[in-house]
Amino acid sequence: MKEGKNKQHFILVHGACHGAWCWYKVATLLISTGNQVTALDLGSSGTNPKKFNDEFCTFSDYSQPLLDIMASLPPQQKVILVGHSLGGLTLALAMDRYPEKVSAAVFVTAFMPDSSNRLSFVLDKDMTLATTLLRATPLPREEQSNAPILSEERYGSVSRVYIMCDEDICITYNFQRWMIENDPVKEVKVINGSDHMPMFSKPQELCLCLLKIAETYS
């Protein structure tokens, strides 16, 4: 794989029931092109020691490792956020809080919220999948009120790209398309022949998509 012209910092965010480990193929490919990569473990995931229970658990707690990384970035540094599956909602929190630090946000067959509804809105639309995550991962819940969590001024100001996987039976192609139509993005890319886990089934194709996105939005 050819080395990219502009070196970027990619932050890779896993989905439910996974960890930083799931990105090892894509991370290796991105690093081989001279880019910086951070793959993190969200709360109670991978090697993260934090444990949750029904009484003391919020989606913000779960997403805190990404928010901490974003807060630690130097003022002028921008990153490319990449979120898979449920990681799309964690991306949204980071985009809303630190829009000035994100050059592009990439949703890889991921849940993508809008700024008109609650963060959990897209999960409410796909309750079959949402219910499978109840025990494994804390789902978003409104901690203070029913007001929208995201703002158009902040979350909506970040360039968003959606990578669709046409053979995904977890977040189906039609549901991916619905989220894109519900809140249009700057660009849509499709990885043909990919299931819900393109980082395993199509790592080179996913890496090439990310490099092209980096070149366009850097």
- The residues spanned by each domain of the chain are 9-17+48-217
85 is catalytic: yes
Q: Which of 17 and 77 is assigned the larger pLDDT? A: 77
120 is catalytic: no
Query: pLDDT tens for residues 179-202?
Result: 999 999 999 999 999 999 999 999
Decide if pLDDT at 21 tops 70. Answer: yes
Query: pLDDT tens for residues 90-141?
Result: 999 999 999 999 999 999 999 999 998 888 788 777 655 655 554 455 555 5
Query: pLDDT tens for residues 160-183?
Result: 999 999 999 999 999 999 999 999
> How would residue 216 be classed by pLDDT, with cut points 50, 70 and 90?
very high
Q: Which of 41, 96, 114, 168 is catalytic?
A: 168
CA atoms within 13 A on the CB side of 10: 34
Decide if pLDDT at 10 tops 70. Answer: yes
Query: pLDDT tens for residues 53-101?
Result: 654 467 777 888 999 999 999 988 999 999 999 999 999 999 999 999 9
The tokens describing 206, both together, are 């996913």
Dist CA 218 CA 216 (whole Å): 6
- Candidates 1.10.1670.40, 3.30.420.10, 3.40.50.1820, 3.40.50.300; correct CATH number of 9-17+48-217? 3.40.50.1820
- The Cα-based distances of 197 to 45, 83, 193, 214 in angstroms read 17, 12, 11, 21
| CB count in 10 Å sphere of residue 156 | 16
Decide if pLDDT at 4 tops 60. Answer: no
Dist CA 183 CA 78 (whole Å): 23
Q: Which of 85, 103, 120, 194 is catalytic?
A: 85
Residue type, 5: K
Number of H helices, E strands in the chain: 8, 6
The tokens describing 42, both together, are 């969200």
> How would residue 48 be classed by pLDDT, with cut points 50, 70 and 90?
low
| CB count in 10 Å sphere of residue 32 | 12
HEC sequence for 51-105: CCCCCCCCHHHHHHHHHHHHHHCCCCCCEEEEEECCHHHHHHHHHHHCHHHEEEE
Average pLDDT over residues 18-46: 90
